[in-house]
Amino acid sequence: MPKSPINFQVNAGDGQARAGVLRTRRGELETPVFMPVGTVGSVKATRFEQLEANDLDARIILGNTYHLWLRPGIETIRACGGLHKFIGWDRALLTDSGGFQVWSLGDLRKISEEGTEFRSHVDGSRQFLSPEVSMDIQAALGSDIVMVFDECAPGQAPSNEARQSMELTARWASRSRQRFDVLQSEGLDTGRVEGTTLTGAQALFGIVQGASHMDLRRESLNRTVDIGFDGYAIGGLSVGEEKSVMWEVVGEIGPLMPVDRPRYLMGVGTPEDLLAGVALGVDMFDCVLPTRNGRTGQAFTSRGKVNIKNSQWTTDTRPLDEACHCSVCQRHSRAYLRHLYMSGEMLAGILLTHHNLAFFLDTMRRVRQSIRSGKFTQFRQEFTDMVNSGAD
Amino acid sequence: MPKSPINFQVNAGDGQARAGVLRTRRGELETPVFMPVGTVGSVKATRFEQLEANDLDARIILGNTYHLWLRPGIETIRACGGLHKFIGWDRALLTDSGGFQVWSLGDLRKISEEGTEFRSHVDGSRQFLSPEVSMDIQAALGSDIVMVFDECAPGQAPSNEARQSMELTARWASRSRQRFDVLQSEGLDTGRVEGTTLTGAQALFGIVQGASHMDLRRESLNRTVDIGFDGYAIGGLSVGEEKSVMWEVVGEIGPLMPVDRPRYLMGVGTPEDLLAGVALGVDMFDCVLPTRNGRTGQAFTSRGKVNIKNSQWTTDTRPLDEACHCSVCQRHSRAYLRHLYMSGEMLAGILLTHHNLAFFLDTMRRVRQSIRSGKFTQFRQEFTDMVNSGAD
């Protein structure tokens, strides 16, 4: 078998749900996997030691091309030896391409065939991002999995507009692939790893677009697979459309994606969403929910969401989640966490974020076990019933 | 030997500097000791696991009567089993009495013989704090070392004003002692520990006041010692007076304090201040500097202060302090810390606070070693020379 940048083996299935192992040049991870988001090179409010600790044990985190390019800048990160060395993390890193972030700037950006012109949110300077620039940046960052530069159509875009966007994404995917291959052959990947059974190079994932139009989604998938990537993502979802639309798209496209490559549903979602995605054959997820909601006082638990601001927790000495084994639930009460939050203490966000990440990551561990033992459907039902029973 | 709430043994000396062991009902700590400040029940931006980790190994932290009384309130903390259980910390806790915090409210408070009336900074409600109320609160908190309720004279107070304040402090010390003893005999200490070789009760420290007037300071010391406490503190310093005045007072009063009791210099100070205090026979210190400055981007290092905002660190891959063994310096570069700070990431404050606490606590470890080996003066000189050499 020829060496590749990653190796993916599905070793169990239950319905369309599948469990496997993704080997990257920086270690193995079991799928389905949830990837904590570290936009600017920091999973917010979380030390890397905690990400590595047993109760989280995150094997892969995300970084963001757009944010890191604007600040601290690629020259800085290259001078510091690439993103892994810069942030002090030697497990796997996936970087988003910047396409979604530029798209979310709305009227501040102008799209052409060549790429996207926009104004920096940091200093207002005029910037230009294209497939080639995004690949250059991600090579300098040295992430282990690189995403193509895509154009995200608005969730409710009419068919002709969504078609133009999808076709542009397809042309950009092709340009991304070409530039990426040149960069790899020229050794411009800052994160290159020698002496592994893999190639040691970066992996490149394609992204399927097409808004809510099934014909466009199928065409996008075909055109992306024709180019050929190490993995395939579904993009342009969880951007304001109805949830039913999202699941319709994933239900249609998921089973059509190559079975021998990881399938990544970008930007999704709640714990229930993760399970719904797994049920449709998705292997990888990322979302800011556990970190963002942690900072705003919301905990995810096996009995549903806990709003720590609620006065009912004032003297409640129970942990956030009595079924949780994380270091926060082993030590701290709802009463204390509420006090920290009401007092504006940073420790509130630190601890709630940690618990939320632990809950997401542990849920995925349990998902994998249930798939391996052929009990995923049962697990999902019990999980959902428990979440809906409500925290007391 | 009759049981007492604490046991203090001086086991080495070098000039006036002394090293010893303070045994509390919640574990031993070596002196001279620096106590991290956890005003509202949280050492800011710091998880308790980090305080316990080897690179910090804080054996005692501070809580604050005033802040905890106003929020979450004593009934809440009592319902949660006392401050230790409420916050999840089973090492020693010292609580300040609230006297200093009420004093720092300035015009918002009104002092009478009975106590101090003031408006809460949390909700503007009218509150009243007195020696009796402060002792009641600290018994409910169940801290291991309780401070008397004192009245802090302004640093530059004229003699007659400072005398009135000092005499009021003496009367309040007596009332604090009486109320404290009643509370202990009635078993109203929430933090009581059974089965130790100590009494398991709280310890009570007196506070010497008198502004910058040596006669008042000496009289305050005598009156405080006459009442009799488990330890003695110097209060009313580091509140805006010239540093020379502070050291004049400590130099005068320190050597006159009972040799067999811990001596505590409240609210002090920089690393150099800690060494100056040790040289004058002080055993205990607390200060917000390592935590507060950590959140504002300033690191204390063996080569002096590092302002992490400075652009000279943009691509500097060295740790904050090449001589430091803390977990932050083992993992992260100045370049990364600067990036986190400039990006407004919480992790900047978390990591800088950790390093600063490690630096303060490690400095005190080295101070103790130097006293035990009779080389404190040499250590202090070398430390000061190094700090003044400047970070490069």
Give tens-digit pLDDT for A41-58.
Answer: 999 999 999 999 999 999
More confident residue, A108 or B341: B341
CA distance A281 to A14: 9
Asked if B123 and B176 touch (Cβ cutoff 8 Å), the reply is no
Q: List phi, psi (to 5°) of B299.
A: -110, 140
Query: Shortest Cα distance from A26 to chain B (angstroms)?
Result: 18
Nearest CB to B315 within list A44, A79, A338: A79
For residue A104, what pLDDT is reported? 87
Q: What is the mean pLDDT of residues A168-186?
A: 98
A336:B80 CB<8 A: yes
CA distance A221 to A170: 9
For residue A131, what pLDDT is reported? 98
Q: List phi, psi (to 5°) of A380.
A: -60, -40
Residue with tokens 């509370």: B183
Q: Which residues of A touch B (CB under 8 A)?
A: 40-42, 44-49, 71-72, 76, 79-81, 85-88, 295, 314-315, 317, 327, 331-333, 335-336, 338-340, 342-343, 345-347, 349-351
A339:B79 CB<8 A: no
Query: Shortest Cα distance from A299 to chain B (angstroms)?
Result: 18
Local structure of residue A37 (DSSP, 8 states): B
Instruction: Tell me: pLDDT of A364 over 90.
Output: yes
Asked if A303 and A388 touch (Cβ cutoff 8 Å), the reply is no
A345:B40 CB<8 A: yes
Express as a percent the part of chain A with pLDDT over 70.
Answer: 99
For residue B2, what pLDDT is reported? 64
Mean pLDDT over all residues of chain A?
96
Residues of B in contact with A315 (CB under 8 A): 76, 79-80
B333:A40 CB<8 A: no
**A291, A328, A346, best to mutate vs chain B, most B CBs in 10 Å:** A346
CA distance B54 to B117: 43
What's the one-letter identity of residue A264? Y
Express as a percent the part of chain B with pLDDT over 70.
Answer: 99
Read off the pLDDT of residues B136-167 as tens digits, 9 standing for 90 and up: 999 999 999 999 999 988 777 899 999 999 99
Instruction: Tell me: pLDDT of A195 over 90.
Output: no
Write out the catalytic residue numbers of B: 96, 286
Is A286 catalytic? The answer is: yes
Q: Which residue of B has its CA nearest to A351?
A: B47
Which residue of the set A14, A55, A96, A144 is catalytic? Answer: A96
Asked if A148 and A9 touch (Cβ cutoff 8 Å), the reply is no
Instruction: Tell me: pLDDT of B233 over 70.
Output: yes
For A164, counting Cβ atoms within 10 Å of its Cβ (0-12 exposed, 13-18 middle, 19+ buried), the class is middle
Half-sphere exposure at residue A75, Cβ-oriented, CA atoms within 13 angstroms: 1
Residues of A in contact with B332 (CB under 8 A): 87-88
CA distance A223 to A210: 12
Read off the pLDDT of residues A259-289 as tens digits, 9 standing for 90 and up: 999 999 999 999 999 999 999 999 999 999 9
**A89, A121, A345, A353, best to mutate vs chain B, most B CBs in 10 Å:** A345
| CA-closest candidate to residue B347, choices A40, A108, A29 | A40
More confident residue, B151 or B2: B151
For strands B231-234 and B263-265, give the pairing: parallel
Structure pTM? Answer: 0.98
Predicted confidence band of residue B196 (pLDDT cuts 50, 70, 90): confident
Nearest CB to B331 within list A71, A88, A345: A88
For residue B105, what pLDDT is reported? 86
Residues of A in contact with B46 (CB under 8 A): 347
For residue B156, what pLDDT is reported? 79
Is A96 catalytic? The answer is: yes
Q: How many CB pairs under 8 A join A and B?
A: 119
B45:A346 CB<8 A: yes
B71:A343 CB<8 A: yes
Sheet strands (E) in A161-277: 203-208, 231-234, 263-265
**B49, B64, B343, best to mutate vs chain A, most A CBs in 10 Å:** B343
How many other CB atoms are there within 10 angstroms of residue A289's CB atom? Answer: 19
CA distance A299 to B388: 47
For B159, counting Cβ atoms within 10 Å of its Cβ (0-12 exposed, 13-18 middle, 19+ buried), the class is middle
Local structure of residue B47 (DSSP, 8 states): -
Report how far Cα A240 is from the mean position of its chain's Cα atoms.
Answer: 17
**What 3-state class would DSSP assign to B260?**
coil
Read off the pLDDT of residues A202-250 as tens digits, 9 standing for 90 and up: 999 999 999 999 999 999 999 999 999 999 999 999 888 899 999 999 9
Query: Shortest Cα distance from B110 to chain A (angstroms)?
Result: 26
Nearest CB to A349 within list B335, B336, B346: B346
Q: Which residues of B touch A (CB under 8 A)?
A: 40-42, 44-49, 71-72, 76, 79-81, 85-88, 295, 314-315, 317, 327, 331-333, 335-336, 338-340, 342-343, 345-347, 349-351
A335:B46 CB<8 A: no
B339:A86 CB<8 A: yes
Instruction: Tell me: pLDDT of A1 over 60.
Output: no
CA distance A191 to A196: 13
B343:A88 CB<8 A: no
For residue B157, what pLDDT is reported? 85
What's the one-letter identity of residue B309? K
Q: Which two tokens stand for residue B234?
A: 């110097």
For residue A2, what pLDDT is reported? 63
CA distance A353 to A342: 16
Read off the pLDDT of residues B97-138 as tens digits, 9 standing for 90 and up: 999 998 888 888 899 999 999 999 889 999 999 999 999 999
CA distance B6 to B28: 10
Which residue of the set A144, A189, A283, A286 is catalytic? Answer: A286
A346:B350 CB<8 A: yes
Instruction: Tell me: pLDDT of B1 over 60.
Output: no
Read off the pLDDT of residues A76-110 as tens digits, 9 standing for 90 and up: 999 999 999 999 999 999 999 999 998 888 888 89
Read off the pLDDT of residues B5-32 as tens digits, 9 standing for 90 and up: 999 999 999 999 999 999 999 999 999 9
For residue B49, what pLDDT is reported? 98
Compute the residue count for chain A. 392
Q: List phi, psi (to 5°) of A310.
A: -60, 130
